[in-house]
Structure 1
Amino acid sequence: WRAIDSYANEISLLKSLRGRSTIIQMFDSEVDMHRKAIFVVMELGEADLNHVLQKQALAARGNENGRNLNMNFVRLTWQQMLSAVHCIHEARIIHGDLKPANFLFVKGTLKLIDFGIAKAIENQDTTNIYRESQIGTLNYMSPEAILDSGMGGDKPKMKIGRASDIWSLGCILYQMVYGKTPFADLHMIQKLQAIVNPNYQIRFPDTVDSLAIDAMQQCLLRESEQRPPIVGRNGLLNEHAFLVTRSQKK
């Protein structure tokens, strides 16, 4: 019963994240292994980010000028997404499946949901975890989550870390800005190859805010070590010019 294990893992993580304003709150839960059933009482949300982006895309189709993006909405949403993911990273948790559907609006505030495949970093000396297989959503999956880590053994394990979540966030920002994910136009095999191929250039049309483009480009660097952190030196949340003006930095 892999699904039961997955939900049990999510319940455990949600318990550890109680009281965090950027994370969906769980009020009560019960795991009945005998009946193979799980009961969970959670915070109620209005709509997830995927639903909002779909509505926005539909509205844009009827607009002669193309996508009518509100960059203030993009900035606010980006800021809230970064805050939510920073919260779990501080708790030594890698989400591993970030996508618009996993961000829920609760009374106007964006909250992170769905921790079914998230995993805690157990060793204090490492920032990566190894997964038994590729679980996640391909359009938002990082190169290192796709590539075999080369550790050997019967089952290839996928090496992911905080930077893998940064890549996924970059894909979501790209979708908010351009109306589609970076590799949306490719078929599955082409998509897998393009994500891991450093010679495949992701297009960043200059029809939008150049600071937004810079943020996306930094998140979507193939080498995970080169991607910026959320907070800290060159942090996307506290230092990048897309969110922070020069006067705020002082």
Structure 2
Amino acid sequence: QVFLGLTKTGELIAVKQVDLIETEVEETEKEYTKIFQEVTLLKSLVHDNIVKYLGSTYEHHTVSIFTEFIPGGSLATIIERFGPLELPVTARYTRQLLNAIAYMHENGVVHRDIKSANIMLVPNGTVKLIDFGCAKRLALRLSRSGSHLQKSLRGTPYWMAPEVVNDSGHGRKSDIWSLGCTVFELVTGKPPWGDREPFAAMYAIGSDDFPVPTLPESFRIRVRDFVSQCMMR
């Protein structure tokens, strides 16, 4: 659950709370240790297009994670309210997202759940990536291709990269795929394979038998090419 909080200095913040299992004390403490390490990592990320993490607490089997409060709503709610976005607006948001992703990747962090619902809009037109619940330091070992990988299945079906769906190990490139899906969503109003049920979409994403969706030819060639370059199996 997410709440609006007020600090002792009078600032509004967002408070995300997670209830942990009370009966398994040792497991609960291990889980909080993981969350605390993650929040400590996220506090080190300082970027105009990434939500600011403030800290966390653990009381009465409830973890509270404190972050900057962003009043504008997510891009998902913007699409619901205004419909597909115009290309200049999409370009403005995408440029900011690319800056945030480049910064994260340079610091060894993958988001693993990039989508419009996890991108908040500040009233002045600035966007910020939120919900790093899936973010982890990339594994130190190298794959055959030279990429740092994580092998756990995380993310949301319609925006998942094929290597995430197939659990074949994924890294920075998975965020780029999700970015392509997000741009597709911003300009059309729904993500690729959005007309399928989630599990059917996952099957299509992970199978070479299904071609990767492309934007209609009514869109400019540069836009179609950008999305296609991001969404490469």
2:112 to 85, 96, 99: 96
Pairs aligned (count): 200
Whole-angstrom distance in 1 between the partners of 2:203 and 2:49: 34
Deviations 1:157-178 (A, max 9, x none): xx11100000000000111122
Deviation at 1:98, TM superposition (A): 0.8
> Partner residue of 1:109?
126
Moved more, 88-97 or 194-203: 194-203
Find the residue that maps to 2:149 and give its secondary structure.
strand
Find the residue that maps to 2:121 and give its secondary structure.
strand
1:56 to 82, 85, 88: 82
Deviation at 1:103, TM superposition (A): 1.0
Deviation at 1:43, TM superposition (A): 3.7
Paired residues of 1:22 and 1:110 also in contact (CA < 8 A): yes
AA aligned opposite 2:41: L
Find the residue that maps to 1:129 and give its secondary structure.
coil
Summarize the Cα distance change of 1:185–1:5 in structure 2 as closer, same or farther, 3 Å threshold: farther
Find the residue that maps to 1:131 and give its secondary structure.
coil
Paired residues of 2:75 and 2:121 also in contact (CA < 8 A): yes
> Partner residue of 2:157?
138
Summarize the Cα distance change of 1:51–1:121 in structure 2 as closer, same or farther, 3 Å threshold: same
CA RMSD, aligned part only? Answer: 2.3
Asked if residue 217 in structure 1 is aligned to residue 228 in structure 2, the reply is: yes
Whole-angstrom distance in 1 between the partners of 2:195 and 2:72: 30
Matches within 5 A, 1:1-250: 1=20, 4=32, 7-17=35-45, 19-26=46-53, 28-32=54-58, 35-38=61-64, 40-57=66-83, 69-106=85-122, 107-123=124-140, 125=142, 127-132=147-152, 134-149=153-168, 159-201=169-211, 202-222=213-233
Paired residues of 1:96 and 1:160 also in contact (CA < 8 A): no
Paired residues of 1:171 and 1:182 also in contact (CA < 8 A): yes
Find the residue that maps to 2:105 and give its secondary structure.
helix
Find the residue that maps to 2:210 and give its secondary structure.
coil
* Overall identity of the aligned pairs, in %: 30
For structure 1, the 5+ residue unaligned runs are 58-66, 150-158, 223-250
Deviations 1:83-137 (A, max 9, x none): 11111111110111111111112343111111111111242755332233x2210
Summarize the Cα distance change of 1:177–1:8 in structure 2 as closer, same or farther, 3 Å threshold: same
Whole-angstrom distance in 2 between the partners of 1:165 and 1:47: 22
Whole-angstrom distance in 2 between the partners of 1:32 and 1:130: 27
Find the residue that maps to 1:38 and give its secondary structure.
strand
